[in-house]
Amino acid sequence: MVVQKKPSFLITASACSLVFLLLLAIRLDLFSRFQLNRRLSGAESLHELADKDSWMRIYQADRPVGYAHRSVTRQKEGNGFTVAETVFMRINTMGLVQDIHLQTEGRLAADFALQSFDFTIKSGRLSFTASGVVTGDILSLETSGRDPARPFEIQLKNKPYLIAGIVDAVQAIGLKPGEFVTVDVFDPVTMGQVPVRISIVGTENIPLEGIDQPATKIMLQFQGVNQFAWIDKKGDIVREKGLLGIRLEKATRQAALATIDSAGSEDLTRLASVGVNGAINDPTAIKKLRLRISGSRTDRLYLHGERQRLVGDVLTVNRETLTDLPSGLAEGEPGQLEQVFLKPTPFIESDHPKIMNLAKTLVNKSDNSLLGRAKAILNWVHANLEKRPVFSLPDALTTLESGVGDCNEHAVLVAALARAVGIPARIETGLVYLNGRFFYHAWNLLYLGRWITVDAVYNQLPADATHIRLATGIQQQVDLISTIGELEITVLHSDTEPSG
């Protein structure tokens, strides 16, 4: 079922995972949930904080592309606080411009520890919401796209905090230049936690509104990426700097809401793609690809395993074959590992009646072998999803109801339908070759007696050998942040199938 990649799919294939990562990076700067691993020895002073209200203008390569508004107010009852944050951005991916709206409100205790939150992301007619309440070390969550809210729980490693309060918390524990604190991030974009190191770099003069002003520079180290924030003498964030030329500058409300560039950002998809030495004429004909991958730390990436083999900096990718696949799983299969990938998750709702009913219908029309089921699912998703970037969080049920999606939406829907009919399914993220460059992309692994790589965007089963896996699983997509703008790829050799 290998098909030639078509230019009409370029936007979808190259934009999807990049947008997911960009949203995560922005939220890391603006309103991720932080958990301090170091005791807030001065936290009792936080109840003295005054209410705050600040606006920031968002730029990408000097283009005004959005704004951010953050407020901190004292709760009427008790010593707690309410933190509210709104972000608007206009993003350009492969010439398609879309507006993204993100909104978060958190209710915090007197020491700024998170008690509850509500989060919404909207783009066009699509939206995703998440709300949570902390009870002890349990975060009880509900998520909702277009279907009624779905509850689940997450075990917390440490007491959760909001980024909006982290500056005050860091000041309270008296960090000095050269000192640092390590925190764990929880964010509804990934529904997971990852460590972040925050350190005080020192004092630096920065131009604000045409005047040089002293500010304390803070560095946030996240997944091998350094992001920076500058804090003025009042304790307010006056500048933030992150990925792909994104920066935020403190502004008045009027200036922050001033005209946004109608073209949005630079083409972020192209900006983040990886160049290569020469063209690959027919990716679908390649059965083995050998390349050198460098320029970024690879120890955080999942480069070795299944059809990929990494020796030093040389990566070999083999396209799987479909010969000798069993018609069904033998007794005792799937194994313990595979069973993990049969379970529903917040984004892969394989136990929902709508997902289960569609999966059953598709299987009934197939030859009922594992391969037949997989082909039926892949064919249906490929044919029935409108292929365009979706600036939201990918979940299978919302994707099924909207009928729109990029590679992330294709991947979660394939995973949900496959799991619903007893096929273990995983999501992989990495790079795929298109028109002279490698672009960020997502696809699936299906267990059909052995793991087979498939791509619903291109209706490939198995997927071609230019699919380079860098991470596996939705939460592990954060591992790709450190690769943006850093990876270098050199194609060393490719074995192709004979023509005709």
Mean pLDDT, each 10-residue run in order, the chain (500 residues): 35 40 44 36 47 86 90 80 87 80 84 81 77 87 67 75 58 70 62 70 82 84 75 80 82 92 84 84 89 81 91 94 83 75 89 95 86 95 87 81 87 96 93 88 93 94 94 72 83 74
Is residue 265 included in any domain, yes or no? no
**In sequence order, which ranges of 306-459 are alpha helices (DSSP H)?**
336-340, 353-364, 370-384, 396-402, 407-420
Query: Which pTM was predicted?
Result: 0.77
Parallel/antiparallel/unpaired status of strands 52-60 and 63-74: antiparallel
Whether residues 401 and 461 fall in one domain? yes
Contacting residues for 338 by C-beta, under 8 A, at least 6 apart: 424, 447
- What is the rounded distance in angstroms from the CA atom of residue 241 to the CA atom of residue 420? 43
CA–CA dist 194, 474 (Å, integer): 13
Final residue before a domain boundary, out of 221, 256, 291: 256
In this structure, the answer to whether residues 186 and 99 fall within a common structural domain is: yes
- 1 within some domain: no
Last residue of a domain, which of 256, 283, 309?
256
Residue 428, in any domain of the structure: yes
Q: How far apart are CA 25 and CA 298, in angstroms?
A: 20
pLDDT at 239: 86
Asked whether residue 261 is domain-assigned, the answer is: no
Neighbours of 384 (CB within 10 A): 11
Distance CA 355, CA 272 (A): 34
139 CB neighbour count, 10 Å cutoff: 22
Cβ atoms of 397 and 147 within 8 Å: the answer is yes
Are 277 and 251 in a shared domain?
no
In this prediction, residue 61 carries a pLDDT of 85
* 415-448 b/e (C-beta count within 10 Å ≥ 16 → b): bbbbbbbebbbbbbbbbbbbeebbbbbbbbbbbb
Is residue 341 domain-shared with residue 414, that is, in the same domain?
Answer: yes
355 and 458 housed in the same domain: yes
Assess contact for 280 and 4: CB atoms under 8 A.
no
Give which of 139, 142, 179, 132 is closest to 158, Cα–Cα.
139
My answer on whether 190 and 231 are in the same domain is: yes
- Answer whether residue 6 is part of any domain: no
Residue 468 bridge partners (DSSP): 431
Per residue in 175-200, is it b (16+ CB within 10 Å) or e — as a string?
beeeeebebbbbbbbbbbbbebebbb
Percentages of the chain per state (helix, strand, coil), in multiples of 5: 25, 40, 35
**Distance, CA of 176 to CA of 196 (rounded, Å):** 18
* Contact (Cβ atoms closer than 8 angstroms) between residue 126 and residue 392: yes
Same structural domain, 229 and 293? no
**60/208 same-domain check:** yes
Burial class (CB in 10 A: 0-12, 13-18, 19+), 213: middle
Residue 17 inside a domain? The answer is no
CA–CA dist 29, 55 (Å, integer): 14
**Which pLDDT belongs to residue 3?**
34
Residues 166, 39, single domain; the answer is yes
Range of the domain at 423: 273-496
Number of continuous H segments (helices) and E segments (strands) in the chain: 9, 27
Measured distance CA(114)–CA(39) in Å, rounded: 15
In contact, 306 and 445? CB cutoff 8 Å: yes
- Residue 331: CB atoms within 10 Å: 4
Sign of CA dihedral 380, 94, 389, 281: positive
Structural contact between residues 466 and 280, judged by C-beta atoms closer than 8 angstroms: yes
Query: What burial letters (b/e) apply to 332-369, b meaning 16+ CB within 10 Å?
Result: eebeeebeebbebbbbbbbebeebbebbeebbeebeee
Collapse the DSSP code of 284 into the 3-class scheme (helix H, G, I; strand E, B; otherwise coil) and give the result. helix
Q: Within this chain, do residues 180 and 75 fall inside the same structural domain, yes or no?
A: yes
DSSP state of 329: P
The verdict on residue 367 lying in a domain is: yes
Give the per-residue pLDDT at 100. 86
Q: What is the pLDDT of residue 352?
A: 93
Spatial separation of the C-alpha atoms in residues 410 and 11, rounded to whole Å: 14
Domain boundary among 225, 256, 287: 256
Cβ neighbours around 291 below 10 Å, total? 22
CB atoms within 10 A of CB 148: 7
Helix axes 407-420, 370-384, angle to 10 degrees: 140
CATH number for position 358: 3.10.620.30
Whether 316 and 215 map to the same domain: the answer is no
- CA-to-CA dists, residue 44 to 79, 84, 90, 175, angstroms: 11, 22, 40, 16
How many Cβ atoms from other residues are within 10 Å of residue 313's Cβ? 14
- Residue 296 is assigned to a structural domain of this protein: yes
* Residues 186, 39 share a domain: yes
Query: Phi/psi zone of residue 237: left (φ > 0), alpha (ψ -120 to 50 degrees), beta?
Result: beta
Domain count, the chain: 2
